[in-house]
Chain A
Amino acid sequence: MAQCRLIIPWPAYRANGIRLPPARPRRFCPPATGTFSHSHPAARAFSTTAHRRIMDTTGFTDTQLDVRAAVSQICAPFSNTYWQEHDETQTDPADFHAALAAGGWLGIALPESLGGSGLGISEATIMMQTIAESGAGMAGAQAVHGNVYATQPLARFGSPAQRESVIPRVVKGEWRVCFGVTEPNAGLDTLRLRTVARKVKTERGDMYRITGQKIWITCAQVARKMMLLARTTPVEDVKKPSEGLSLFCIDLDRTKPGLEMRRIKKMGGRAVDANEVFFDDYEIPADTLVGEEDKGFKIILHGMNAERCLLAGEALGLGYAALARAAAYARERVVFGRPIGMNQAIAHPLADAYMRLEGAKLATYHAARLFDASKADTSITPHALGVACNSAKYMAAEAAFAACERAVLTHGGMGYAAEFDVERWFRECLVPRIAPVSREMILNYIGEKVLELPRSY
């Protein structure tokens, strides 16, 4: 039945203008013969990321494991070389953000009605961990973090018009979002923030004029929207300092007067920009207000526990990536005629780092599970949730720091070389220790709220 029509030898096949599909740049590299071989070096050459993941994955849900497998696949073509180069040249990983957006991943925790997938923080956390663990580190995580997290208050408290005009575009990757809370003189003490939004009537309708300064605004250079927290009632005129703050979802229109941003030079995660943003009577329409005026702080609070979980996941990813790399190096590097991993002075700190990571992992996914369950289960108190999320962030950040530092030391001199990646992860692992809340403030919080010790500040 099948009848042979023509046979074209290979060179003619090309000469006839039949375009061969491009060689696959991702997934697997076919050897020239068109067969797969487990031992063929080309099958592994496309990615420099260690295939061996060391984290124990028992106890995760099927959905979490699906997320982990699928996100790993997307991250695989973004090699460590890619992240080294973007770190060195301080270039935004726009194609990485686009790849995740194309797969619908930015909408992981956003409602299905707005183009999201309606999953919880448990799934978003493992996504962020997988991104960091792929070698992308904090840079990769921060390139998408704000879009996953800063959109949460908007999805919950925004007006239908705000939700429908912004969120689907963020999920598709057309617009990026940054989060504008921190100020130079209001870091941990958010309530003291001084950026002011003044309501004015103009011929263009009701407007707010923003004046003030924000700092450490990640991705402001590439973001189209900012979730901005500003004071709408002076602190002297409110009963509690937590009142009088309002949340806005504003355009960052660099062509309009009164908006300026300056990139901050920083230690790690250099691919992703962090900025000082200056507002000087920057005008925004009144309908950019999210929720009620003066009630912005409560809205922001809602997302803070979720952010702790995501950050904890990102820290875990860094830690596991660094530790896996250190263990691989310790197995292969031979000094004095034997692999250095045979020395207990090398092996024991790594084994210890592993157990710290595993412990922090349990704390992190416990906190994420509580966060998701707390929506329906009223027996989970805000106190229990706050303690769980803060503890998880603390433990994951510290475990990641231990793993990253030991990974550098295990590599000896080579740990100091950018080519081996561990120095990049080490620089980046300071971020989860400091942000979004410093480890000292978490210790204060546990001391005060759990152990009922007198407050020190």
Chain B
Amino acid sequence: MRPTGARLLNILVPVKRAVDYAVKIRVNPQQTGVDLNVKHSMNPFDEIAVEEAVRLRERLKEAVTSIKVVTIGPPKAAETLRTALAMGADAALHVEIPESAPAPEPLGVARALAAVIEQQRGAGNAVDLVIMGKQAIDDDAGQTGQMLAGLLGWAQATFASRVDLDVAAGAATVLREIDGGAEEIRCRLPLVVTTDLRLNEPRYASLPNIMKAKKKPIEKLAPADLSVDLTPRLETLKVTEPPVRVGGSKVQNVDELVAKLKEAGFTAV
């Protein structure tokens, strides 16, 4: 039985529009980045985050008051929000940046998310739980969740492969994937969880839910509304393709092998 007066959960899921995982990426001719004129979809780790939020609601029923998704990105990132809404999120927030603007960096994104969370708190929808991908598959920075927890002074449970919530106690038990094993931690809400691959397997949006998602609200904000500056602090000097792999060759015997290794600069330790 749940003690009366227990907090109900508001979950925030930040998502990112990224180059689709199945696209073969190419460096652009100016060598400033990759060709972005290709299929985009929701960062797969973020899909896992949305799925986890929806599953938490399926498990905890009314204890989850709201699932809100947020993205910081160009106008087209609204498609990504629709996908999340079709998977089961209730509402969406789009911090829109111009198509031509440089991609925001983890610190900028974390600051914007912190501002969103502050704003939500002010509006009486205090966020208790942030679930987000451990990294995006485009820049693979893997920093935003940690930075966000740091900025907010919240607990963080990164690389989660299982999340159990105890709403009454305002705590979560999270199994984390770490080098060489798994680690189980218990932390208090509010909490930032970043998702690892094995947390769940995201659902396909059903047709009725895709149609319902079209009617769900997407609120639009500009970075200035949050008083955050998304100007990059890093400068990309050059992006190049990895060197083309050269095929190997067969050797007749050990002597030849050793000779070839020496030729290639390998020496015995």
Contact = CB atoms under 8 A, between A and B. Distances in A.
A2 B146 CA distance: 13
Given A35-B140, A103-B207, A9 B180 contact: yes
Nearest to A20: B198
Nearest to B157: A2
Interface in A1-17: 1-10, 12-13
Contacts of B161: 21
Interface string B89-113: 0000000000000000000000000
B204 A70 contact: yes
A74 interface: yes
Given A9-B181, A38-B21, A1 B187 contact: yes
B24 A38 contact: yes
B225 interface: no
Interface stretch (A26-34, A225-233, A345-353, A401-409): A26-34
Contacts of A296: none
A66 B207 CA distance: 9
A10 B182 CA distance: 7
A104 B177 contact: no
B181 A8 contact: yes
A51 B188 contact: no
B208 A117 contact: yes
B155 A2 contact: yes
A446 interface: no
A65 B120 CA distance: 33
Given A27-B201, A73-B204, A36 B137 contact: yes
A34 B208 contact: no
Interface string B183-212: 111111000000011111110111111110
B182 A1 contact: no
A28 B157 CA distance: 24
Contacts of B159: 34
A21 B181 contact: no
Contacts of B82: 66
A43 B207 contact: no
A102 interface: yes
B199 to A, nearest CB: 8
A24 interface: yes
A185 to B, nearest CB: 40
B185 A5 contact: yes
B92 to A, nearest CB: 15
B71 interface: no
B151 interface: no
B25 interface: yes
Interface string A375-405: 0000000000000000000000000000000
A33 B198 CA distance: 11
Nearest to B242: A39
Nearest to B21: A28
Interface in A42-87: 43-44, 51, 63, 66-67, 70, 73-74
A74 B203 CA distance: 10
A427 B82 CA distance: 39
Interface in B141-174: 154-157, 159, 161
A5 B184 contact: yes
Contact of A34 (B177, B204, B206, B211): B177
B12 interface: no
Contacts of A66: 82, 210
B197 A13 contact: no
Interface in B40-58: 44-45
A6 B206 contact: no
A13 B181 contact: yes
A103 B206 CA distance: 4
Contact of A70 (B24, B140, B200, B205): B205
Nearest to B26: A38
A114 to B, nearest CB: 12
A107 interface: yes
B89 to A, nearest CB: 16
A2 B158 CA distance: 11
Interface of B: 19, 21-25, 44-45, 82, 86, 135, 137, 140, 154-157, 159, 161, 177-178, 180-188, 196-202, 204-211, 214, 242
12 contacts: A1-B154, A1-B187, A1-B188, A4-B183, A7-B182, A7-B183, A8-B182, A21-B201, A27-B201, A66-B82, A70-B204, A117-B211
